[in-house]
Amino acid sequence: MTLTGMKKHVGILEQAGFVTTEKVGRVRTCTLGLRRLEQEAAWIEGYHQLWSARFDELDKVVEELKRKEKAGGRKKRK
Determine contact, residues 59/51, Cβ cutoff 8 Å: no
- Alpha helix locations (H) across the chain? 3-16, 38-72
Average confidence score pLDDT of the chain: 87
Cβ–Cβ contacts within 10 Å for residue 19, how many?
A: 19
What's the confidence (pLDDT) of residue 14? 87
Average the pLDDT over 2-20 and give the result: 88
Quick check: 35 pLDDT over 80? no
What's the confidence (pLDDT) of residue 78? 58
Cα(12)–Cα(56) distance, rounded to whole angstroms?
36
What's the confidence (pLDDT) of residue 49? 96
What's the confidence (pLDDT) of residue 52? 97
Q: Is pTM beyond 0.75 here?
A: no
Determine contact, residues 10/22, Cβ cutoff 8 Å: no
